[in-house]
């Protein structure tokens, strides 16, 4: 079982696409925002930005597409567009909710570590009714480099007062998986983008569900870890 005797004292969840079914909301809201600046939200661009965090999104628009807005303005715009879509259209993945209950029952500390802004993280956790499961909700925005840099995971472990090697991370993106590995943590990968070929970094995860959420169950994860 996942417990301190097996070197797991904490579980860190990515938010979007991992814990909550929100990526489709971002496709809609980010598409609207990009269209405002005359940018086509192609599958290639989506794949490139998946899991990279809102700071990276803003810098790409400014530095590569010549958008004449500040990073702060673009972050505020992105959050506004997103929340307009997500407030009434977001749910927790049922199997992830099962995990929250199982891990809480085992006394494991739980946290969220996301590249979304903290107000968005807090609002969506509240909307989904799961905020109380988490000892910490950590955003990289304005504080740490975005994933695949491990800083957000290392900071989350520090706040939980748990060594990185005692953390299990759940992630859906290659950048998130790479960040968890770089932090010295175990990682279960449940990819959002499952069309082959998978990004090679996903194969480096401790546990991989190549079919994404369609192939994931709480019981299967526990069995693979155990």
CATH 3.40.50.1000 fits 4-21+90-225, yes or no: yes
Distance CA 114, CA 51 (A): 8
Which pLDDT tens digit goes with each residue over 28-57? 999 999 999 999 999 889 888 876 778 888
Residue 88 pLDDT class (50, 70, 90 cuts) = confident
Q: Give the tokens for residue 11.
A: 């579980």
- Average pLDDT value for the chain: 92
Domain locations in the chain?
Answer: 4-21+90-225, 23-86
Question: Residue 51: its pLDDT value, please?
Answer: 66
Determine whether 77 is exposed, middle or buried from the number of CB atoms within 10 Å of its CB (0-12, 13-18, 19+). Answer: middle
Report the predicted TM-score, pTM, of the whole model to 2 decimal places: 0.86
Q: Which of 5-14, 36-45, 188-197 has the lowest mean pLDDT?
A: 5-14
């Amino acid at each position: 079982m996942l417990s301190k005797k097996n070197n797991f004292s904490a579980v860190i969840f990515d938010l979007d696409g991992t814990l909550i079914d929100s990526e489709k909301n971002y496709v809609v809201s980010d598409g609207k925002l990009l269209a405002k600046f005359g940018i086509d939200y192609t599958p290639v661009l989506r794949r490139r930005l998946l899991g990279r965090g809102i700071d990276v999104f803003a810098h790409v628009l400014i530095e590569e597409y010549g958008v004449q807005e500040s990073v702060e303005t673009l972050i505020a715009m992105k959050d506004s567009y997103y929340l307009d879509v997500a407030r009434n259209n977001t749910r927790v993945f049922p199997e992830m909710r099962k995990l929250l209950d199982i891990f809480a029952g085992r006394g494991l500390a739980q946290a969220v570590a996301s590249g979304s802004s903290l107000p968005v993280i807090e609002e969506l956790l509240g909307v989904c009714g799961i905020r109380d499961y988490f000892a910490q909700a950590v955003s990289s925005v304005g504080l740490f480099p975005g994933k695949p840099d491990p800083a957000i995971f290392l900071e989350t472990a520090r706040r939980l007062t748990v060594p990185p090697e005692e953390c299990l991370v759940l992630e859906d993106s290659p950048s998130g998986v790479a960040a968890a590995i770089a932090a010295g943590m175990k990682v279960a990968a449940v990819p959002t983008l499952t069309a082959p070929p998978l990004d090679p970094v996903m194969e480096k995860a401790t546990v991989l569900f190549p079919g994404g959420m369609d192939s994931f169950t709480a019981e299967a994860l526990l069995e693979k870890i155990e």
